[in-house]
Amino acid sequence: MTDYDETPSFYNNDEMFEKYLGKTSYYLALQDSVLKITKMINPDNILELWSGLGQTTIKIFENNKNSNILAIDNRKKPIEKSRQKIDEENVKFVCNDMVKYIQKIHSLPKLTIMLYSFHHIPDPVEIKVSFLENCYKKMNKGDYLCIAEAFIPEDELKLNITSLWEKEV
For residue 99, give the nearest of 110, 114, 111, 79 by alpha carbon.
Answer: 114
Q: Does the pLDDT value for residue 3 go beyond 90?
A: no
In a domain, 4, yes or no: no
pLDDT tens per residue, range 86-98 = 999 999 999 999 9
The secondary structure element, H or E, covering residue 147 is strand 144-148
Determine, yes or no, domain membership for 3.
no
| End-to-end alpha carbon distance in the chain | 40
* Residue 73 belongs to some domain of the structure: yes
pTM: 0.80
* 91 found inside a domain: yes
> Which residue range is the domain that position 66 belongs to?
9-166
Residue 81 lies in a domain: yes
Question: Domain total for the chain?
Answer: 1
Is 67 inside a domain boundary? yes
> Any idea what the CATH number is for the domain that residue 51 is in?
3.40.50.150
Interval 96-122: pLDDT, tens: 999 999 999 999 999 999 998 998 898
Rounded Cα distance between 58 and 60, Å, is 5
Highest mean pLDDT among 4-13, 122-131, 149-158: 122-131
* Domain-embedded: residue 146: yes
